[in-house]
């Protein structure tokens, strides 16, 4: 996937996202807290604020991930009489909540990476402003 004109390629952005690193500089420092992105990368200063809730898809991804990782396997265990329905409901409710909370920072990092894999020219390192649609 050769992309002339891009100092940071889509592949590099995706790899940086998997490491929860900044898509622009490759350093860590995207998170302000467990549940919130910083306003800007602490290393390069790239703006991480998205005015229209661009990263709000994180919660939806968490629901889908919890269904696939927690609820579907529990249904399988109930159907095959490994555990009872009552236990499955309790495990499903608490396990899904814990799972979503546990992976939330990773989902935030991956949403940032996904945005910039789609729009690599927005990265300041690639000549953009770091803000979607303002180049």
* Count of residues touching Zn ion (by CB under 5 A): 7
Residue 44 has phi, psi (to 5 degrees) of -110, -10
Query: Binding Zn ion by CB under 5 A: which of 31, 32, 44, 75?
Result: 44
37 DSSP β-pair partners:
31
Q: How far is the CB of 124 from Zn ion (least distance, A)?
A: 9
Rounded Cα distance between 118 and 104, Å, is: 21
Instruction: Say whether residue 24 binds Zn ion (CB under 5 A).
Output: yes
- Convert the chain into a string of H (helix), E (strand) and C (coil): CCCCCCCCCHHHHHHHHHCCCCCCCCCCCCEEECCEECCECCCCCCECCCCCCCCCHHHHHHHHHHHHHHHHHHHHHHHCCCCCHHHHHHHHHHHHHHHHHHHHHHHHHHHHHHHHHHCHHHCHHHCCCCCCCCC
Instruction: Say whether residue 111 binds Zn ion (CB under 5 A).
Output: no
Instruction: Say whether residue 25 binds Zn ion (CB under 5 A).
Output: yes
Instruction: Say whether residue 126 binds Zn ion (CB under 5 A).
Output: no
Query: Binding Zn ion by CB under 5 A: which of 3, 9, 32, 43?
Result: 43
Q: Which stretch binds Zn ion (CB under 5 A): 16-24, 66-74, 80-88, 95-103?
A: 16-24
Q: How far is the CB of 11 from Zn ion (least distance, A)?
A: 17
Q: Which stretch binds Zn ion (CB under 5 A): 6-14, 35-43, 61-69, 88-96?
A: 35-43
> Which parts of 63-92 interact with Zn ion (CB under 5 A)?
none
User: Which residues of this chain interact with Zn ion, rule CB under 5 A?
Assistant: 22, 24-25, 41, 43-44, 46
């Amino acid at each position: 996937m050769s992309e002339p004109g891009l100092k940071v390629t889509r592949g590099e952005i995706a790899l940086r996202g998997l490491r929860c690193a900044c898509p622009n500089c490759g350093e860590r420092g995207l998170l302000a807290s467990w549940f919130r992105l910083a306003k800007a990368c602490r290393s390069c200063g790239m703006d991480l604020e998205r005015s229209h809730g661009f990263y709000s898809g994180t919660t939806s991804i968490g629901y889908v991930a919890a269904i696939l990782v927690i609820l579907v396997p529990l249904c399988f265990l109930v159907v095959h009489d490994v555990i009872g329905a009552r236990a499955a409901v309790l495990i499903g409710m608490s396990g899904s909540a814990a799972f979503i909370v546990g992976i939330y920072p990773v989902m935030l990092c991956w949403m940032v990476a996904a945005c910039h894999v789609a729009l690599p020219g927005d990265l300041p390192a690639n000549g953009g402003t770091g803000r979607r649609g303002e180049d």
